[in-house]
Structures are given as C-alpha cells and as structure tokens.
Structure 1
Amino acid sequence: MLLSHDKSQVLIIDVQDKLLSAISGKDRVVDRCVRLVMAARKLSIPITLSEQYPQGLGPTVDSIRDAFANDGFVADKTEFSCVRNGFLRDRLHDLRRQGRSQVVIGGIEAHVCVLQTAIDLESQGFEAFVVADAVGSRSKLSRKLALSRLQKSSVDVVDSEMVLFEWMERAGTPEFKELQALIK
C-alpha cells in the first residue's frame, strides 16, 4: 500500500542529545528526521515526538525541535515501545480514529524502541512505515538486523524520498515545489 498524506502521521522516536552521540550515521538520521518533520508540517500531517527519560538523556536534538516548532505532541517515556506508554498510545490511537492509520517512523535505536514500536503498532491494526534512512543504532549490524526483522514482521521499510513522493502524489503542485527543496 502507498502512503497517503491524508492517512499519515509521523512519529520521531528518541532522537536525543545523549543517545545520539553513540549512533552510527547520526548525521544522516537527524537530517532525514528533519526532512520528515518539515514535510509533515507543510502537508499538515500530525507529528509526535517521544523522548526516552529526558531528565537523564536530554531533549530531542535542536535541529528536529526547530523543524517541529511546537507543531505537534511531545511525550516523555521510559517504555521502549511508544505504544506501551499511555500518553503516546492514546495520541496514536486518537489520530487513527481521525483516519490516520499510517505511522511513518524515524528515530533511534532501530533495534530497540523503533522495532518494538513498529511491531506493536502493526499488532494493533496500524500500518507502520519505518524510514530506513531516518533510523539508526549504535552498531550497523543492529540496524541491519532490525530492518530485516521489521520486514519479516510485515512492517514496511521505506526511505525518506519514497515517503515524500508518495505524500506528494504528483509533480507540478504547490506542495511539490515546496517539498522538492527538501530532496535536493
């Protein structure tokens, strides 16, 4: 199934200062998460940020927070899966009741919080789309294993360009012209 901007919501998981420093390919992860957030804001797609124990691990990195511009929902958690946190679960389900059953996911770590969240979402009737170039882990092997396991668990693994082009649907629109700059 293709992504639709009318059916999508974006979930950025735990891209926090103290976690990010150890992530392989961290600059790519942050850049692609920013891309997703900026595109979602331009297309009025709801955005949710999770932060794993921010008192100890710090807030979401500034570049994602700046792109987010307080245009969405932020929740602290200690659970690995966002779906096992009451505030986040309620938010995701509220958006699904509004017709937004597709959850586009970026963040860290791919083999822990991202994986558990995506598998839990699928088991609860969502369509989870993990954005491969917007997720990372401390080791490349952990990320690779996570993406493989996600695919075997019926989670769609996509990249950020696939997401943007599916959201835009066609060229020549004002949205296409605005979002095209995010791809170049």
Structure 2
Amino acid sequence: MTPQPCPLPSRDRTGLVVIDVQEKLVPFLDRKEHFLATIEFLVRTVRLLELPVLVTEQYPKGLGPTEAVVREWLTDSPRVEKITFSACGEPAFEEALGRLGIVEPILCGIEAHICVLQTALDLLGSGRVVYLASDAVASRHAHDREAGVETARRAGAVVTTAETVAFGLFERAGSEEFKAMQKLVRQKDEALARTLPLR
C-alpha cells in the first residue's frame, strides 16, 4: 500500500515554486489583488525561514518578467525560463529542484488550470509529494482556477492554503521568526480587507 503524503510540508524537504507570476498575465487574473497579497505573504514567509524558492517564467520576452510586487522578494532566487506549460518540460527546472534540495515542492502561481496544474501532474508522476497553496494560485476565470485545483487534488496533490503552509512550517509559537510571520499575516489580512467590496 502506497504511504499517504503528510498533510503539512517539512522544512528539510520542501521549498516554494513560484510559477509564471508575470507582468503581462497578472492584470487579467480573477481576484488579482487577493492573489497578489496571498502570494506575497507566502513568498515572504518562506524567505523568513530561509527555505529555497525557485521561480519560473513562461516566455518572458512576450509575457514580461515576474510581477514587481513579488519580484522584490525574489532577487536572489534562481529563475527558469520555459516555453513548455509544465515546468518539468524544461530540463533546467528539474536540475534546479535537485540543486536546491526541493524534494516536496509547494506550488503557487498562474495559471492554476494550465502551467500550475501541468507542473503538479508531472511532479506527482515522478513520485514526488506536491503541495498546492490553493489561495496562492489564480486563473483568468474563477471556474478554471477551481477546476485546476480540483484536478490536482484528484491526482494526489495536497491541496492546502498559504496560512496552513506557514503555520505548519513553524510548528510552534514564541520565536522571533514566528513573531515576524504573525506580522506578515496581519499585513496580508489588511491587504485582503481592502480588496473586499464595500457593504
């Protein structure tokens, strides 16, 4: 019987993969402000713990670089350019995962039903445990995002949220790093509140 993946990632095996959060794609996303606030929180939390982060960019000559609000926190993270929808189709991606020691990746990015999904499926197919931060993935249309997340879940990905990942990685309160993460949670919540319609 195949062992079930742990519902929470462990620091010594995981890292963040930021998929195609690019300047010419972001403006067309459904709930883009919510997505950007959440993905910024996730990136900053992972960096706080000094865990590896790997960035992909789909045809950056046409779709532009990584969005500035995210790129600000990724200045020293390796980037892999690709033209395949699955990042696994680019040999440099697999090489980077190995070099960074990312055995059980946490996926975030766009689009949930295309590049994120195909990357998740290929990673699962290679025998890896894959965590999908469902509130840190986006598509142009809500139904596409929902379908992408559900397809990944059915294929075996551990579908979770940015906060679940963050608190799972910390495990306990009290450290200075945890206090810094709590501040990031508050900043995220304030940003999300600004995206809500006035009642």
Aligned residue identity for 2:185: I
Supply the distance in 2 between the matched residues of 1:25 and 1:157 (Cα, whole angstroms). Answer: 19
Supply the distance in 2 between the matched residues of 1:93 and 1:29 (Cα, whole angstroms). Answer: 28
The question of 1:76 aligning with 2:77 is answered: no
What's the counterpart of residue 183 of structure 2? 181
Question: What TM-score do the two structures reach when normalised by structure 2?
Answer: 0.87
Q: CA shift at 1:6, angstroms?
A: 2.1
The question of 1:93 aligning with 2:95 is answered: no
The question of 1:46 aligning with 2:52 is answered: yes
What's the counterpart of residue 19 of structure 1? 25
Q: CA shift at 1:178, angstroms?
A: 1.2
Task: Structure 2: give runs of 5+ residues left out of the alignment.
Answer: 1-5, 187-199
Supply the distance in 2 between the matched residues of 1:175 and 1:67 (Cα, whole angstroms). Answer: 17
Query: Equivalent residues in 2 for 1:1-184 (5 A)?
Result: 1=6, 2-68=8-74, 70-95=75-100, 98=101, 100-184=102-186
Per-residue Cα deviation, 1:135-162 (whole angstroms, up to 9, x for no partner): 0111111111111111100001111000
Supply the distance in 2 between the matched residues of 1:38 and 1:80 (Cα, whole angstroms). Answer: 26
What's the counterpart of residue 193 of structure 2? none
Q: CA shift at 1:93, angstroms?
A: 2.9
Aligned-residue RMSD, C-alpha: 1.1
Aligned residue identity for 2:99: D
Name segments (4+ residues, structure 1) moved above 2 Å: none
CA contact (8 A) 1:15 1:30 kept: no
Question: What TM-score do the two structures reach when normalised by structure 1?
Answer: 0.94
Supply the distance in 1 between the matched residues of 2:16 and 2:68 (Cα, whole angstroms). Answer: 18
Aligned residue identity for 1:81: S
Task: Structure 1: give runs of 5+ residues left out of the alignment.
Answer: none
